[in-house]
Structure formats: structure tokens, C-alpha cells
């Protein structure tokens, strides 16, 4: 088994090295998986895959059959949900609904006289806005172009405003999030139970704590910087926001409800099920398509051109393609790596090692959390989550541990550690927008994110338990 462990380590190291060299995470994961899959037959591991494939008579050709099976099943299953959500978000931006929601949520902030109250309020409202704009980078670009100048004008330092904006996409309990969809599926529980039950019980208190930590930390650093007469940055000029998304002004105010309509259509039946005998099972893809039709009808009436409104639906399909390239392909590549590691028996060996082990729950809880933190800092995103979420439930089952005890912390940590990574796209975008170094911005974002990680882990242990 020593050779199998060494092979798994080599595959994972290859992924790490490639990502470190700026290779796309999807390609890096696929390369690591291919390395293990091609060497596995040499070690005698044939016919050990977790998918039904036709035996070609050649072990190496069979390995590509497993990759094809992963591609097919992932795209038709969880991948379709992700692509539909991306397509819907793209269409919402195209018709101006996301921008209307942004203006509606941020306008009350600018009326506050106590400037540091803007810090937690901006953080919390920004997280609400991530329901409409799920991409951390896209949300950051939107807020830098629209909200950052107003926050600076209200009295906040540019780097304080930037730190809040860089951390707005974190751990909102939403069924529209790809990570939530995948986590619920891998745990084998309904999406609404996972999101509005376990996830919300942990994430909402954590978001409250993070907002308060932001207020205290940003105020402390601002005061210390004033004492040291440190240059805190500058207000972006118009050239800084030239690449920002266009803000349509003709969309009516009620369009703000359209981006969250799928969320409402999922949330209302869940609430009714908890409070009344009414039990309506809803699935995310049909609900999102209903919201898309509602938006298309509204656009047709507003523009008085059904043909133009229907042609605009191509934005939805292009958005689906973006979703495949950005997330679904990442999930597929992660599954290839996991399939490869499982084929050579490493997961089974580790599961057997922890089965019945005293203190296994705490060891696994800390081990998976630590691994996720390290990988998220190195990769600058949640990409490692899509690999670990494939393994965690299986290991937990073997050890007699609640799978959610491992899945929830790696999901939270992956989303929170992103704002502390020097290679995260959102950090690079925001730091360049206010002309501060990545190190200076991370110094501002790290403490609130560390508070969030600590609180979420503690609450996960209390709420879920071993």
C-alpha cells in the first residue's frame, strides 16, 4: 500500500505545483487525476472504479471510460443545476435586475451619519447581494464601481471600504449556491433542509460576528494608521471603473425581486412545510426556469417587443456555458482526481484506519478543516472544496461520524479563506482598485475572516455534533 500512498501524494503535489505556477485549477486537478489513473493499472488496480463502464480489454483505455462517465453523470446531474443558476444570473444582469437590486440595497447605507456603522452594514448587505451576484469577483467589481466612492465620500478610508467589499461574498445560506447544492447532494439530504436547517443555524450567527469584527478591526487599524501618518490609499478615478459592468437605469424598481425569485419560490414551501401540513416538493432547476419565464414576460411587456425579449434569452444559454467552464468543469476535474485516489484504495485504507478510532470525530473535524484552510490559501478560492466534499462523507461514514461535521467546515472555510489569499481574484481586483498592496488588504480582511472561521467551526461542532 506504500506505493499507492506515494502515488496519491505525487498526484496531489502535481496539482499544488501547477496551481502555484498559475495553471488553472481545473486543468491542475485533471492533470493530477490523470497521473494517478495512468499509473494505477501498473500497480494492479484495474476494474476498481466507482462507475459502470464497458470493458474494452485495455486497462488504460478503460480509465478514459471512467472519465467519460464522470463527465456525463456530473453534467446531467449537479452540473445542470449549476449551469442553470449561472445562466439565470447572467440574464438578470443583462436586463438590469441585478443592478436594480444593488442600488436598492445600498442606498439606505449612505444616509447614515455614524460612518463606522457603514462597515458592518455594508458587509451584511453585500452578503445579501451575493444572492443576486454569486461570483465574488463580479460582485467586487460591481461594488467598487458603484459603492466604494460613496463609502469614501461618507468618511471611510479607501482601504477600509475596500476590505469590506473584498469580503462580501462569503457564506450566505442560499439554495442558489453551487457549493450548497453539491454539499446537500453528497450528504444525501434535501437541499432546503441543508441550507435553511444546518447551514443557516451556523452561517447567520457567524455573519453577525464577522460584521462586528470588521467594525472593531477596521476602526482600530484606521486609528493606528492615523497615528503613524500612513498613506491609506486613494479614491479610484473614472479610469479605474471603466471595465465595470454597465448600470442600466431604465429597469423598473420592482425588478429587484427578480434575482431572488428562485430563492423565494424555494423558501416559501420550506416555511409552509415547517409551520403547516402543506408539503410541496420543489426542485431548483424547475423553480429557476419559472423565474426565468417570469422575467422574460416582464421584459417583453416593458420593451413592448416580444421578439427582442425572446432573443435576449440567448444570454441565459451563454451564461450556462460560462457556468460549465467556471464551476462544472472544476467539479468534473475534482471528481476525476477523487476517482483516481479511490481506485488505488487510498480512501478505503484511510477510512479503515479511522473506523472505531477513539476521538475520530475531532481528529477528522480538525484534519479536514486544516487541509481546507491550507488549500484555500494556496489556490485563492473554493476549488479544493469540490475535491474534499467527494471524500469527506465517505470517510465520515466509515468512522461513524456525521458527514455534515466534515462538509460544513470545509465549505465555510473555503469561502472565508478566499479573502485572505494573496492569489484570490477578488483580492487582486479590489487591491488594485484602491492602489494598495495585496498584503495591506489582507491585513484588513484577515481578522474578520479568522473570526468567521473560528465561530463557524465552534458552532458546527455544537449544532451538528459528532
Q: How many domains does the chain have?
A: 1
Flag whether 151 is in a domain. yes
Q: Are 447 and 213 contacting, i.e. CB atoms less than 8 angstroms apart?
A: yes
- Give the pLDDT confidence of 162-218 residue by residue, as tens digits: 999 999 888 988 887 888 989 999 999 988 889 988 999 999 999 999 999 999 999
Nearest to 16 by CA among 369, 387, 423, 378: 378
Q: Are 420 and 446 contacting, i.e. CB atoms less than 8 angstroms apart?
A: yes
Confidence (pTM): 0.67
* Domain span at 431: 72-176+186-327+419-463
Flag whether 204 is in a domain. yes
Report d(CA 190, CA 187) in Å as an integer. Answer: 9
pLDDT at 322: 87
Residue 252 has pLDDT above 70, yes or no: yes
Flag whether 244 is in a domain. yes
- pLDDT bin (cut points 50, 70, 90) of residue 109 is low
Flag whether 335 is in a domain. no
Per-residue cell: 146: 458603484
- pLDDT bin (cut points 50, 70, 90) of residue 295 is very high
Q: Enumerate residues 6+ apart whose C-beta is below 8 A from 60.
A: 38, 41
Q: Are 320 and 80 contacting, i.e. CB atoms less than 8 angstroms apart?
A: no
> Mind spelling out the 3-state secondary structure of the chain?
CHHHHHHHHHHHHHHHHHHHCCCCHHHHHHHHHHHHHHHHHHHCCCCCCCCCCCCCCCHHHHHHHHHHHHHHHHHHCHHHHHHHHHHHHHHHHHCCHHHHHHHHHHHHHHHCCCHHHHHHHHHHHHHHHCCCCCCHHHHHHHHHHHCHHHHHHCCCCHHHHHHHHHCCCCCCCCCCCHHHHHHHHHHCCCHHHHHHHHHHHHHHHHHHHHHHHHHHHHHHHHHHHHHCCCCCCCCCCHHHHCCCCCCCCCCCHHHHHHHHHHHHHHHHHHHHHHHCCCCCCCCHHHHHHHHHHHHHHHHHHHHCCHHHHHHCCHHHHHHHHHHHHHHHHHHHHHHHHHHHHHHCCHHHHHHHHHCCCCCHHHHHHHHHHHHHHHHHHHHCCCHHHHHHHHHHHHHHHHHCCCCHHHHHHHHHHHHHHHHHCCCCHHHHHHHHHCCCCHHHHHHHHHHHHHHHHHHHHHHHHHHCCC
Residue 314 has pLDDT above 80, yes or no: yes
Report d(CA 49, CA 204) in Å as an integer. Answer: 40
Q: Are 217 and 447 contacting, i.e. CB atoms less than 8 angstroms apart?
A: yes
- Give the pLDDT confidence of 223-251 residue by residue, as tens digits: 888 877 544 444 333 333 333 344 444 67
Arithmetic mean of pLDDT over the chain? 83
Average pLDDT over residues 350-355: 60
Residue 13 has pLDDT above 60, yes or no: yes
pLDDT at 132: 67
Q: Which long-range contacts (CB under 8 A, 24 or more apart) does 48-53 make?
A: 48/342, 48/343, 48/344, 48/345, 49/339, 49/342, 49/343, 50/339, 50/342, 50/343, 51/339
Average pLDDT over residues 342-360: 69
- pLDDT bin (cut points 50, 70, 90) of residue 412 is very high
Amino acid at each position: 500500500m506504500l506505493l499507492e500512498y506515494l502515488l496519491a501524494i505525487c498526484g496531489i503535489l502535481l496539482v499544488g505545483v501547477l496551481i502555484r505556477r498559475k495553471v488553472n485549477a481545473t486543468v491542475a486537478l485533471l492533470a493530477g487525476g490523470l497521473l494517478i489513473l495512468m499509473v494505477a493499472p501498473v500497480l494492479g488496480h484495474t476494474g476498481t472504479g466507482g462507475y459502470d463502464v464497458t470493458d474494452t480489454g485495455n486497462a488504460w483505455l478503460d480509465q478514459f471510460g471512467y472519465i467519460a462517465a464522470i463527465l456525463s453523470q456530473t453534467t446531467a446531474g449537479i452540473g445542470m443545476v449549476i449551469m442553470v443558476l449561472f445562466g439565470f444570473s447572467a440574464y438578470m444582469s443583462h436586463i438590469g435586475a441585478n443592478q436594480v437590486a444593488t442600488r436598492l440595497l445600498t442606498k439606505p447605507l449612505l444616509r447614515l451619519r455614524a460612518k463606522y456603522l457603514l462597515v458592518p452594514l455594508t458587509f451584511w448587505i453585500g452578503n445579501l447581494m451575493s444572492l443576486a451576484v454569486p461570483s465574488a469577483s463580479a460582485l467586487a467589481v460591481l461594488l467598487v464601481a458603484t459603492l466604494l466612492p460613496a463609502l469614501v465620500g461618507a468618511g471611510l478610508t479607501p482601504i477600509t471600504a475596500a476590505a469590506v467589499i473584498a469580503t462580501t461574498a462569503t457564506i450566505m445560506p442560499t439554495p442558489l449556491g453551487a457549493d450548497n447544492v453539491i454539499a446537500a447532494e453528497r450528504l444525501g439530504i434535501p437541499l432546503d433542509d441543508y441550507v435553511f436547517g444546518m447551514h443557516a443555524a451556523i452561517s447567520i450567527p457567524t455573519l453577525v460576528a464577522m460584521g462586528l469584527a470588521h467594525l472593531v478591526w477596521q476602526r482600530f487599524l484606521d486609528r493606528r494608521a492615523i497615528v503613524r501618518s500612513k498613506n491609506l490609499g486613494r479614491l479610484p478615478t473614472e479610469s479605474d471603473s471603466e471595465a465595470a459592468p454597465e448600470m442600466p437605469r431604465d429597469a423598473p424598481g420592482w425588478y429587484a425581486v427578480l434575482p431572488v425569485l428562485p430563492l423565494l419560490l424555494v423558501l416559501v414551501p420550506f416555511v409552509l412545510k415547517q409551520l403547516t401540513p402543506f408539503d410541496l416538493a420543489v426542485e431548483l432547476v424547475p423553480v429557476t426556469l419559472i423565474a426565468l419565464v417570469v422575467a422574460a414576460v416582464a421584459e417583453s411587456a416593458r420593451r413592448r417587443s416580444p421578439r427582442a425579449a425572446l432573443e435576449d434569452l440567448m444570454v441565459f444559454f451563454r451564461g450556462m456555458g460560462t457556468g460549465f467552464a467556471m464551476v462544472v468543469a472544476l467539479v468534473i476535474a475534482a471528481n476525476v482526481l477523487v476517482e483516481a485516489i479511490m481506485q488505488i484504495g487510498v480512501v478505503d485504507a484511510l477510512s479503515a484506519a479511522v473506523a472505531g478510532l477513539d476521538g475520530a470525530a475531532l481528529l477528522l473535524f480538525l484534519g479536514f478543516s486544516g487541509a481546507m484552510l491550507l488549500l484555500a490559501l494556496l489556490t485563492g478560492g473554493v476549488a479544493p472544496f469540490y475535491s474534499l466534499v467527494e471524500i469527506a462523507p465517505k470517510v465520515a461514514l466509515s468512522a461513524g461520524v456525521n458527514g455534515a461535521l466534515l462538509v460544513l467546515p470545509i465549505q465555510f472555510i473555503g469561502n472565508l479563506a478566499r479573502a485572505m489569499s494573496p492569489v484570490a481574484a477578488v483580492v487582486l481586483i479590489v487591491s488594485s482598485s484602491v492602489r494598495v498592496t495585496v498584503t495591506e488588504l489582507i491585513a484588513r480582511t484577515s481578522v474578520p475572516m479568522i473570526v468567521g472561521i473560528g465561530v463557524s467551526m465552534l458552532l458546527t461542532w455544537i449544532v451538528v455534533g459528532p
